[in-house]
Amino acid sequence: MTTLRRWWADAPATTLLTLTAVIVYAITALQSGSLMDNLPGSSLGAAWVLYGPEVAQGGLDRLRALGAIFLHIDLGHVAINSFMLLLIGREIERFAGTALYSAAFFAGGIGASATVLWMAPYNPTAGASGALFALMVLLLGITRARGGDLRAPLALILVNVAYTFIAPSVSLWGHLGGLFAGLLMVLFFVHPRAAFRWAGVLGVLLLSCAAVLLV
C-alpha cells in the first residue's frame, strides 16, 4: 500500500492508467472464466475490442478506439504492458506534468487505434501497445533534451519494432500508428514553451479522433 501511495504521489496518471488496465483485465477474466484467453466469453471484451465493422456503425461503438487501449488478451499481455507503462510513463509524467502526459498517452493510443481502423479494420485488436510506442518516442526526445545517453531508449524502440515484425500475434498497424503519433508529437513535447507543447499534443489528439470519426 505504501508503494502504491508513493507511485500515486510521484506519477498519478501513470498509476491510474495502469490500474485501469489491470482492473479491466480482471473483469474480462472473471467474465470469461479464463486468465489466458479472457476476451472470448467476456461481454466487456466484446463491447470494447477494436473491430472496424463495429466502429463503422458509429454511435457508442466509436468509443472502442478508446476502450481497446485498456483491453488485453491474456495475463502476459497485461503484465508486460503494465510494467512498461509504469517504467516509461513515470519518467515522462515527471518531465511533462500529469495533464500534458495524459493528453500524450491518449493521443498515442487513439492514434494507434485510428491507424488499425484504416489499415487493418478486420483484425480485432486490443492493448496499450500503441500508446506505449508513442511514449517510447517521447522518452527518446526527453533523453535527448536532457543531454542523456540515447542508446537505451533507441534500443528499446528498435527491439520493439523488430518484435512487431517477427511476432505474428501483435498488431503491426497499432504499433506503427503509435510510433507515428509519437514522432508527430516529440518535437513539440520537448519544446521549452508550454503553448507549443500543448499545441502539438492536442493537435495529434484531435487528428487521431478525427481519423476515428471518419472511418
Q: Cell numbers at residue 209, please? A: 479522433
CATH value at residue 120? 1.20.1540.10
Give me the average pLDDT of each 10-residue run along the chain (215 residues).
Answer: 73 96 97 92 96 93 97 95 95 96 98 98 96 98 94 94 89 96 97 96 98 95
Q: Which domain holds residue 158?
A: 2-213
In the chain, the number of structural domains is 1
Residue 1: what pLDDT?
Answer: 64
pLDDT, residue 4, reads 65
